[in-house]
Structure 1
């Protein structure tokens, strides 16, 4: 994987039209996009659903990254999940259609990132400490808590995805690995 010579996203300055308090979350999500995009140039599709040592597959992580952004940003808008969102959640980890590629999953993740950035842009900073409810149980959080958790969760799964991909790639090059 070739290293990007630019500084990490958070070191490139503020993102236009994103409220100041949401800059770190937007930076973290965009950093994840860049790192997965770099991986996509060399990761073989035939390994997408492999689970080395029983851990989650690269395909699962990409589906989950997109799904979590969608779900948490829905709660941040004070909405409940739709039947389509619940169905997507139930099917994370399953190949969504025959021949699904890493690029297909990355394209959907990118579409969720664009929606998240647009929601950041429309967010009134004065609402960030307001209560928002999560799930059918209506567990209380805050607006900023949901948006921050979306970014933190994205980074957590990015790390797991990258380690899983590295293990799979090393194993495919060295079957005795």
Structure 2
């Protein structure tokens, strides 16, 4: 049996990402790897299952993609657009058989875009105020970026349990 790769935080720096943002990059890369492994060959009914009323695997995959998009938008100091609000509205929709691979690809692509954004982040802006959501909740650039990573890790944990139950 081949040894598994160490977790991302144990692999050293992610090329081009500022030192202060390495933990965010590590969280995003770890989440992407674990989601892909958890949903590999997961039947579509398990993508949509809501055991004990919890959120479905499909919801978590869509939500993580959307959270990354939205929080990195706020980190740039921008407002959400209509496409982002639409994506938010359909996060809980039933996943069709033909959508599974596309959803994983979209999440992976969003992680790549976020890594590029981290590489391009001027660390002198990390303490700058950012307003989040319709209510304009105050945060900072760093707050938005860190929350993007930790929020996805929280949903990853929920996804892992739900996917495991769906395989039983």
Structure 1: segments with no counterpart, 5+ residues:
171-177
Q: Supply the distance in 1 between the matched residues of 2:163 and 2:2 (Cα, whole angstroms).
A: 16
Structure 2: segments with no counterpart, 5+ residues:
none
Q: What does residue 79 of structure 1 align with?
A: 78
Q: Over the residues paired in the alignment, what is the CA RMSD in angstroms?
A: 1.6
**Which of 106, 109, 120 in structure 1 is aligned with 2:107?**
109
- Deviation digits for residues 42-100 of structure 1 (CA, Å, limit 9, x no counterpart): 3122321111111100000000000000000000010000011001101111036x434
Instruction: Assess if the C-alpha contact under 8 Å between 2:69 and 2:110 holds in 1.
Output: yes
Instruction: Assess if the C-alpha contact under 8 Å between 2:39 and 2:163 holds in 1.
Output: no
**Which of 147, 152, 162 in structure 2 is aligned with 1:164?**
162
Aligned pairs for 1:5-84 within 5 A:
5-84=4-83
Q: Supply the distance in 1 between the matched residues of 2:2 and 2:103 (Cα, whole angstroms).
A: 22
Instruction: Assess if the C-alpha contact under 8 Å between 1:40 and 1:103 holds in 2.
Output: no
Instruction: Assess if the C-alpha contact under 8 Å between 1:45 and 1:101 holds in 2.
Output: no
Instruction: Assess if the C-alpha contact under 8 Å between 1:25 and 1:148 holds in 2.
Output: yes
- CA shift, 1:160, in A, is 0.1
- CA shift, 1:113, in A, is 0.4
Aligned length: 168
**TM-score of the two chains, using structure 2 as the length reference:** 0.95
Instruction: Assess if the C-alpha contact under 8 Å between 1:8 and 1:31 holds in 2.
Output: yes
Q: If you compute each CA radius of gyration, which structure gives the higher value, 1 or 2?
A: 1
Q: Which runs of 4+ in 1 moved over 4 A?
A: none
**TM-score of the two chains, using structure 1 as the length reference:** 0.90
Instruction: Assess if the C-alpha contact under 8 Å between 1:48 and 1:101 holds in 2.
Output: no
Instruction: Assess if the C-alpha contact under 8 Å between 1:51 and 1:57 holds in 2.
Output: yes
- CA shift, 1:33, in A, is 0.6
